[in-house]
Amino acid sequence: MAGADEVPETLGTPRLLLRPARPEDARVHRTLWTERDARVPAHRRIDALGHPTLAEITADLSRRADAVPGAARSPALDSLGLLMVERCHEGDAIGYCGLIEEDDAEGPQIAYELLRATQGNGYATEAAGEVVRWARRAGHDRLRATVWDWNVASLRVLAKLGFEDTGTVTARSPHGLTLLLVMRL
């Protein structure tokens, strides 16, 4: 497993920079909340009162940034955490990608979400591929992904990266089935 000194501040590809979130990224996060599919559970979408607001998201990102360097990451020292995905040429943040840790899980989970206007350009596959490469270098032996059964685009990204469907449904709800995919590194 990776050590704290092996967690980079940024990752990158020729087209993308993956970096810690900053308070000024709140607009991107808020837009992601507004763009989520209606099938996503209500607690992951903007509520009837407009929460989370831009100010609430900005305050949350500020608290994380002020806590400790790299605090937008997962608290686990050997985890990459979630990083903002920024296009190098345009200089704009378009979403996030990274690893999250859960105490009761076998291995970290990859997560990503990009603005709708930027989807279909290979950015999710490229960013997630860089995260997978980091995880391999860091000594992780397995990555997990959970995805809604109806999220065909994410299932396609995960398949391109080499994740395999385990046949396990981790949750059933009115929103659909949550599938578990795994990649051995």
What global pTM score does this model have? 0.88
Q: Specify burial of residue 119 (Cβ count, 10 A radius: 0-12, 13-18, 19+).
A: middle
pLDDT digits (tens, 9 = 90+) for 15-72: 999 999 999 999 999 999 999 999 998 889 999 999 999 999 999 888 877 764 544 4
Total domains in the fold of the chain: 1
- For the domain that residue 94 is a member of, what is the CATH number? 3.40.630.30
- Domain of residue 34: give its range: 4-184
